Amino acid sequence: MKYILIIGDGMSDYPIPELGNKTPLQAAIKPHMDTIAVRGQSGLIKNVPDGCTPGSDVAICSVLSYNPRIYCTGRGALEAPSRNINLGADDTAYRCNIITEENGAITDYSAGHITTEEANQLIAAVKKAYNKPGEVEFYPGLDYRHFLILRNFPHPEQIYCSPPHDVIGQATNEVMPKAKVPEAENNTQQLRDMIEGSRSILRKHPVNLAREKAGKKPGNLIWPWGGGKKPSMPTLKEKFGIKSAVISAVDLVKGLGTYAGMDIINVEGATGLYNTNYEGKADAAIKALETHDLVCVHVEAPDEAGHTRDYKLKVRTIEDLDKRLLGRILSGIKEPYAIAILPDHPTPVKIGTHTHDPVPFTIAAPNLKPDDVKTFDEFSVKQGKFGLVEKDYLLSILLSIDKS
């Protein structure tokens, strides 16, 4: 038996008036997801425990069967292995976005989805100004997503850093890093100083001058957030006895996969955006299933559409995921399989950020008796056999469905 896990990041949503009060999942033409729902059993699952921030780190930890209260040490630390960044026991890794500030307020968490080539030039300029090997280290990443490593910085939990996608429109000086205890004030000021200093470094950078001339948003500020230390996680092989692989464009999922002992499969043209290589991901998944028990395919595009509050694009990304990725996998796999489909968390277009709401999921397997659900969306699955799952993890459920 082979196992397939499809994660449509942020795919779940609320009803949207422009879609006839349907969610993007309800409005999208997605025959393959609906077929899985018809063949299998569905429900809602709470991937974000009460008291946890509804980020993809928490949600995907849960999906992969890891307790986020234990293993979600911080977004930066979870992503770092995807860039071969080694962390010591007392090192702190931050995600470091290239963002847009206008008139003293944060207006875009991604600098208009700046390209990797452009952003790498910007982070290189910041690195030149602030890098101190063994103390302060900047590393390039994908698109707007980069890294700040503070060596011998053992208490990131003492500092609160706002995720930039959660503070769009707010004054920069009001959402700067804040010390939770007096002992952290010096380290917090170090972060604030680098943010403030990046403004003068980036404002007149040739990349930004060219972007502004072309009518694009400049990447004129760095924004560290999600600071954390290296977690110690059992692998999926140790937990379930399986050989597994993950396919994703984003560092978080690849980093979590590394800690979980999954093989990381990189696909040319996988971008994390609406223009990702769906077909390439599907083909890579089919090939990986020849040598792995479980393959997880993660698609970031619906989440990005939710953050930009573009309901038309969100519908399109769901339809592309269904037709170009899921349909291609289903037509190419030859062995018996169990498959699960779900979002990690909602990213509602109305608010442009993540929420705690349970998300729909559906699972089909050869010996799983179908329930009465006929379409895959946030409301139809409420009638599914699984009901509301609050105390189990999706991967644990999938791997226990069918052992034949």
Longest dimension (CA), the chain: 62
One-character DSSP codes across 110-156: TTTT--HHHHHHHHHHHHHHH-BTTTEEEEEEETTEEEEEETT---G
**133 and 217 inside one domain:** yes
Q: What is the arithmetic mean of pLDDT over 383-393?
A: 97
Query: What CATH number is attached to the domain comprising 244?
Result: 3.40.720.10
For 303-333, the pLDDT digits (tens) are: 999 999 999 999 999 999 999 999 999 999 9
pLDDT reported for residue 171: 98
Of 193, 228, 263, which residue constitutes the final position of a domain? 228
Sign of the alpha-carbon dihedral angle for 222, 223, 229, 234: negative
Q: Which domain holds residue 220?
A: 81-228
**Dihedral class, residue 352 (left if φ above 0, else alpha if ψ from -120 to 50, else beta):** left
Beta bridge partners of 2: 337
Q: Are 255 and 141 found together in one domain?
A: no
195 and 146 in one domain? yes
190 and 323 share one domain: no
Q: Do 161 and 221 share a structural domain?
A: yes
Residues 134 and 270 in one domain: no
The pLDDT score that the predictor gives to residue 238 is 98
Q: Which of 166, 233, 236, 224 shows the shortest CA–CA distance to 198?
A: 224
DSSP codes of every residue in 7-35: EETTBB---BGGGTSB-HHHHS--HHHHH
Q: Is the pLDDT of residue 404 over 50?
A: no
Pair (157, 292) in one structural domain: no
> Quick check: 364 pLDDT over 90?
yes
- b/e sequence 252-276, b meaning 16+ C-beta within 10 Å: bbbbbbbbbbbeebebeebbbbbeb
What value does the mean pLDDT of the chain take?
A: 96
Q: What is the mean predicted confidence (pLDDT) over 18-44?
A: 98
Joined tokens for residue 207: 């990349």
pLDDT at 42 over 50: yes
Joined together, the tokens standing for residue 311 give 């309901």
Residue 154: pLDDT band (50, 70, 90) is confident
Question: Number of folded domains in the chain?
Answer: 2
Q: Does 208 lie in the same domain as 177?
A: yes
The pLDDT tens digits for 272-309 are 999 999 999 999 999 999 999 999 999 999 999 999 99
Domain boundary among 204, 228, 252: 228
Number of Cβ within a 10 Å radius of residue 110: 22
**H helices present in 28-81, as ranges:** 31-39, 56-63, 68-71, 75-79
Q: How far is the CA of 295 from the CAs of 81, 91, 269, 291, 399, in angstroms?
A: 19, 31, 19, 10, 12
Q: In the listed set 181, 207, 228, which residue is the last one of a domain according to the structure?
A: 228
Instruction: Tell whether 101 and 192 lie within a shared domain.
Output: yes
Distance, in Å, from the CA atom of 16 to the CA atom of 342, rounded to the nearest integer, reads: 20
State pLDDT tens for residues 234-247.
999 999 999 999 99
